[in-house]
A and B are shown apart, each in its own frame.
Chain A
Amino acid sequence: MFAWLLDLAPGLWVIGISVALVVGLRRWFDRVPWAAAGVYLGVVAVLYGPALFGGRVLLAVDNLRGVVPFTGLAAAEPPGNHLQGDQVLELAPLQAEVRRAVRRGEWPLWTPATGGGAPLLGVPESQALQPLVWAALPLPLPRAAGAVAALRVVVALVFLHLLLARLGAAPWAAAAGALAYGLGGFLQLWLGWPRANVAAWLPALLYAVVVAEAHGRRRDLLLLTLAAAAVLLGGDADAAGYALIAAAALAVARVARRRAAERARPLLVQGAALALAFGLAAPALLPAAEMVPRTPEAYALDGRASTELRTDPLGMVTLADSGRRAAALGATFDRLLPALAPNAQGNNRYGRYWGPSNSNEDAAVFAGTAVLLLALYAAGARLREAWRRRSPTAASHRTAVPAAAAGALQHEALFLALAAVALLVVARPPILAQLLDHLPYLGPSPVFHQRVGLLFVLAVAALAASGIGRLSAVAAAPRRLVPLGPLAAVLGVVIVGAYLANHPGDGSFGWGLTARWMAIQTGALGAAVAAVAPIQRPDRRALALCLVIAAELALLHGPANPSLPRRLYYPASEPVALLQAAATAEPGARFAGLDGAFPPLVPAVYGLADPRSRARTVALDYHRLVEPILAEGGAALSFRDPAHPLWDLLGVRWVLAPPGSEVPGLRLLFDHPDGRVYERPGALPLLFLPESAEAHRADRPWPERVAAIDDFRRTAISQSLPGGGAEWRSGGPGRVEIGAVEPARVTAASELDAERLLATSIYQDGGWRMLLDGEPHPTVLANGPLVAAWLPEGRHRIELVYRPAGFRRGMLLAALSLAVLLTWLGRPGWP
């Protein structure tokens, strides 16, 4: 009855937080005009209204459709964005695990829901300590998705507005820049991903740098520390690195305006604030620093970097070969094109994309046509001034009007340089491609740091604000129109040409969409010129440009994040309900989908433990362990051959198979049109006692030996054996009874007539410790990377607890940083 009230909750929550943010900023920092704040909230309401106020879900949950046990789901209209599969298959399940831990009042350290378990804090994609994610914790996950997305946009809009205003932009010019960034390609196309956290906080970080340099007040430094920590906790190390580089560049540019003797102090203070931010974020950063290098993805990237270096050092082989050179340069051009015409190479959202990667990846660099026009205008003016100042022949030009007096933004040159460098990285010409794989601190990136497009969008947005400022300094309409009109015409021709030249023209992609995109982009150009020419008052002109920018970007990027009906949000079909009930009755038992059923990690949303996983949430050791039963696939680790003994070792009690499929050797438990549930009676419990063990040998890789074991009840491969022998055999009976099974704690009781090996199917990343009768007891590895321990005879209480060293060190650092921060801020009379 009051469901509609609940549907309003995300929107009201976002409005509440946004208003509190604006009020707080007005009180302690700078004033965001209420009108601009209203526009920002209005834009957010228009874009995400159905999710914020209408009970819909801002997750691409229809990516589940067609997969067992969701085959019966009816399609949504309009359909979801299938490029956003990660959100549903990986990010939301991790979020569900984080929320479960927080609700239990625990740190989100470990999830048993994937693989042999995985460190939640160690997987950056879980965004376990991200403030924007925590801000939406009071809302249930389906409602929180929209709220988090909206908060990301609001935070980006508000802080970029403040930053641009601080740098000299008039209110509506600042709003135009903020809208260009907030509705630009990077934030909108990556809105559901962790890197959007970084994009949201980046303006706050830059704003904090500016105010900290200008005033150095305690609250400025606190803001700097918190913003930097929020960036670091974003869950995307690459993007955080780009943000910190931009912040460092701005900090240096700011202090460079001071007298030399006054530069060191602000740099040191800001550096200290940054160091404290690292300390505060350490509880998430250190576990991630331990886990990420162990993932197959990290190994693959390292291998790529090494192999490319060997076979094509600095692109020299490519440059020497005419065919490869032409292909590389063509790809470089294709990567640049989306900055101008984001859909000239199609769009995956609408069925087909023929660009270099996918339309999310490539078009994230697009900031808007009108924005580009204004930015080019500012860049041209800047370059012209620089040339005049340096020209030795034109002495009179040396007294040219300073940039600030011409209405330009402060640090316009810095933004111009940022845009140029970012675009160069995005274009990735042959030599650069390899250099990028070996950048210190950042390291190799899956997309060769193409996501530095974040800085391009930011810089172009700032340049657009600068362009509006410059236009406001030109009183006569014709003088405004003279440079802008031809520039717009050229841009328009190039854009139309790009669409026409790149269209396949074979009927595989409709002309209607192409025409629509061309119309939007050229229309934005025309509207921008039309707004600039006749409107005399600069503030009204800027407001008109705001509307043009917002309209263009909303039209182009709005469809990227459709809200979907709530019914599609991880529906509980009957087989799933059965599995949930069975798993509750048998703690520690696992389930797995077969033949693509129930994609890995998705069962986490339902509280089911699944030994399958995905490439970013699993360690290479575990990947090696399950390799014999891995099916062909990409990012997901799907299993095959359910009769294999490894299924027993991993404790897979139930198997969900497509409806009608036969799984030989397993007992059919439940047959339903959504899927068949089979039972595996041979599954081992989470903790068990093998009858014999062989010692691991350094010269014989364990994966082969473990794969050769046909019954894990009988044999295990142990890291070490009592007495250091090569083989061990049980000297008497024994039993182990599992007690509580919590994510980061498992208890059991053992009763043994002789020393026995306690084996488990829990992945040991180094963080699992054992307490035997309350005392620390050494653990070993058994059957590859799984936790085990040698238990003495007699009755014992066993407690396995997960306390990763990285988290402990991180908490220590965080406590230390917090103490320093409080002492610093509380120092009387400072500064």
Chain B
Amino acid sequence: MIGSPSEGRAEPGGTGDLAKVAAPPARRPMHRDPAALLLGLLWAAAAVLGVLRVDGFALDDFFITYRYAWNLLAGDGFVFNPGERVFGTTAPGMGLLVAAASAITRLPISHAAPWVSGAALWSLAWLLLAEGRERGRTAEAAAAGTLIVTSSFLWVHVGAEGPVALALLLGAARAAGRRPVLAGLLAGFAVWCRPDAGLGVAALGLLLWRERGRLPWRFGVTGGAVIAAGLAAARWWFGRWLPGTLEAKRLQAEWMPEIWAGGLTFWGEGLRSLRTLYVGPGVMLLVVLGLAGLVSLAVLGDRAHRLLAAYALALAVAYPLLGVAYYAWYAIPIVIGLLAGAAYACGWVARRAYRFCGGTAAGRWVAAAALLLLAVPLGGELARRSAGLYLAPGTSPRYELYRHVGGWLRENAPAGEAVSYVEVGMIGYYSRRPVRDLLGLVTPDAIPWVERGDLVGGFLAAPTPWIVYDTALHGFMQPLREAPWFEGAYREVVHFRHPGNGEELILYRRRPGAELPPPPGPAAQPPSR
């Protein structure tokens, strides 16, 4: 882990840099290096195992994109609800990729998507290894790659577009030297996968400009053309340039800041959720080490390292400024950056300790001890969580219930009858029925009601025959069920109860001929914005 003595001596004496070496040693190409190939194989095995373990476990929001992909393959076009051209996914590129993967492999969308994620994680690790080897930091790169490929946080977000977009960006950074057109294509498609990758494209453009002292016009023109094509396509198909989810998530942060943190508390919620779900009490150690490593990579690393650092840091600043509510998958590129940064920072500490001890054999033990002291509080919890993922993967009881509800609706609800709820991905995907999203992600006409904090009004604006009610989310749905008209207008049809935590989902159906009041407010129409 700590590099060879010759690597240590190759560095400018004690300058304190994390990544720079005076003269990168000549190395065999990656595909001819048995150690690199072995590592690549191990990562591939870990990724395949990860895919098999989390198959079908994606978070609800990702099923929104899956439903777009499913409808595309079904011939209904790239839409969430057939016939409604609503730009309700932030990951159209991911949707297209997943659709393509499904079409090629004949796997269902929800089973094809994990393979795309696994491939993205492996690619990230491989790209970082390539970059690290060239800079004489193979051990750090190997550690970073291993942390990424085995990260339970990233596998929990299987199906997310973040790793794909980041892998495309890093690939672009690696390719930009000799193949600027390919780099532009990759970078442009990264923006299709996730619009905020635009920050990464801009950062890569600036890096190339700074490296060469002239405008990287081939990269810029190609990347710009791909992005422009995406925007034009979105405008043509959906009637808008960008996804409508941005506005919906901003409104969420304004409506219930205690649940949906935004602004100054955006990363507070991020740190809290990382602490609870991933890193444990050592979260600050990850942040401090990761930031130290990232800053150093940004200053002294090679292009892909710098891009990783710049992109992660830019996102860290941008999200609070955007005012959107925190969702854990926003943190994916930043977590990847922190993991890589922490690996490099640990490597720096170990190398410093080794040099401090004069590069002697005993100095290796001191370096190993220093590394251990840093790695134990951080790596222990990460390893435990990763082991938990591989040994006993599981999904949220609620998601299991959503799957059952979706399946039940598909078998029992008449085609074309819509269902209303606040988490619409899985229910929509599995039910194949139109879904009205009371939080407005895929239902733009609900957004004005979200702005008012009035889910009942949003429902009454376009009532559906079916309603899903979740006992664990009663804070959202309770006003609807407690509305005076509800009892007379809807009846309970089926009741799903999770045997583990007792969470219950109830499906209500509108009584035949039941009258509903108009939506509250000064006018029956939703307020215009």
Residue numbers of A with Cβ under 8 A of B are 256, 259-265, 267-268, 271, 302, 305-307, 309-314, 316-317, 320, 435, 438-441, 443-444, 698-700
Contact = CB atoms under 8 A, between A and B. Distances in A.
Given A317-B265, A698-B500, A699-B501, A264 B272 contact: no
Interface in B352-410: 355-360, 362-363, 365-366, 369, 377-378
Contacts of B356: 256, 260, 263
Nearest to A437: B284
Q: What 10 A-B pairs are tightest by C-beta distance, nearest first? A: A313-B268, A699-B502, A260-B358, A264-B362, A438-B284, A261-B358, A440-B377, A264-B357, A310-B272, A264-B363
A233 B426 CA distance: 54
A310 B265 contact: yes
A211 B110 CA distance: 65
Interface stretch (B30-38, B274-282, B462-470): B274-282
A320 B264 CA distance: 9
A549 B359 CA distance: 47
A267 B357 contact: yes
Nearest to B257: A311
Contacts of A320: 264
Contacts, number: 94
Contacts of B484: none
Contacts of A310: 261, 265, 268-269, 271-272
Contacts of A438: 275, 281-285
Nearest to A438: B284
Given A438-B284, A440-B378, A271 B268 contact: no
Interface in B231-284: 261, 264-265, 267-269, 271-272, 275-276, 281-284
A306 B357 contact: no
A262 B366 CA distance: 12
Contacts of B365: 264, 268
B357 A440 contact: no
9 contacts: A261-B358, A264-B358, A267-B357, A271-B369, A320-B264, A438-B283, A440-B285, A444-B281, A698-B499
Interface residues of B, number: 33
Contacts of A435: 284
A266 to B, nearest CB: 10
A267 B354 CA distance: 12
Contacts of A264: 357-358, 360, 362-363, 365-366
| Residue in A260, A262, A317, A438 with the greatest tally of chain B CB atoms within 10 Å | A438
B362 A309 contact: no
A314 B281 CA distance: 15
A307 B281 CA distance: 13
Nearest to A302: B281
A268 B358 CA distance: 14
Nearest to A441: B377
A593 B288 CA distance: 50
Contacts of B269: 310
A261 B498 CA distance: 64
Contact of B502 (A305, A440, A700): A700
B362 A440 contact: no
A312 B269 CA distance: 9
Contact of B362 (A265, A441, A700): A265
A262 B268 CA distance: 45
Contacts of A260: 355-359
Contacts of B501: 698-699
Q: Is the interface of A mostly helix, strand, loop or mixed?
A: helix
A285 to B, nearest CB: 15
A437 to B, nearest CB: 8
Given A264-B363, A267-B366, A438-B284, A309 B357 contact: no
A313 B271 contact: yes
Interface string B335-361: 000000000000000000001111110
Contacts of B265: 310-313, 317
A26 to B, nearest CB: 34
Given A264-B365, A271-B369, A310-B271, 12 more contacts: A261-B358, A264-B360, A267-B369, A306-B275, A310-B261, A438-B281, A438-B282, A438-B284, A440-B377, A698-B499, A699-B502, A700-B502
A830 to B, nearest CB: 16
Contacts of A311: 265, 268
B378 A261 contact: no
A580 to B, nearest CB: 44
A268 B366 CA distance: 6
| Residue in B271, B284, B359 with the greatest tally of chain A CB atoms within 10 Å | B284
Interface string B25-55: 0000000000000000000000000000000
A380 B425 CA distance: 66
A287 B395 CA distance: 33
A305 to B, nearest CB: 7
A256 B271 CA distance: 37
Given A316-B264, A440-B285, A441-B377, A263 B275 contact: no
B51 to A, nearest CB: 29
Nearest to B274: A309
Contacts of B378: 440
Nearest to A310: B272
A263 B357 contact: yes
Nearest to B364: A264
A700 B267 CA distance: 34
A299 to B, nearest CB: 13
Nearest to A436: B284
A439 B358 contact: no
A228 to B, nearest CB: 15
A268 B284 CA distance: 28
A642 B520 CA distance: 53
B276 A306 contact: yes
B502 to A, nearest CB: 3
| Residue in A311, A317, A440 with the greatest tally of chain B CB atoms within 10 Å | A440
Contacts of B272: 306-307, 309-310
A435 B282 CA distance: 11
Given A261-B360, A440-B377, A699-B501, A312 B268 contact: yes
Nearest to B284: A438
A261 B499 CA distance: 63
Contact of B281 (A261, A263, A443, A698): A443
A267 B369 CA distance: 10
Nearest to B397: A699
Nearest to A444: B281
A76 B251 CA distance: 65
B210 to A, nearest CB: 31
B362 A268 contact: yes
Contacts of A261: 357-360
Contacts of B281: 302, 305, 438, 440, 443-444
Nearest to A265: B362
A699 B365 CA distance: 50
A525 B267 CA distance: 49
B267 A313 contact: yes
| Residue in A256, A317, A320, A699 with the greatest tally of chain B CB atoms within 10 Å | A699
Nearest to A321: B264
A638 to B, nearest CB: 31
B281 to A, nearest CB: 6
A267 B365 CA distance: 10
Contacts of B282: 438, 440
Contacts of B500: 698-699
Nearest to B261: A310
A438 B283 CA distance: 7
Contacts of B357: 260-261, 263-264, 267
Nearest to B497: A699
A307 B273 CA distance: 11
| Residue in B281, B355, B498 with the greatest tally of chain A CB atoms within 10 Å | B281
Given A264-B360, A699-B501, A317 B264 contact: yes
Interface in B474-525: 498-502
A309 B267 CA distance: 9
Contact of A309 (B268, B369, B499): B268
Nearest to B271: A309
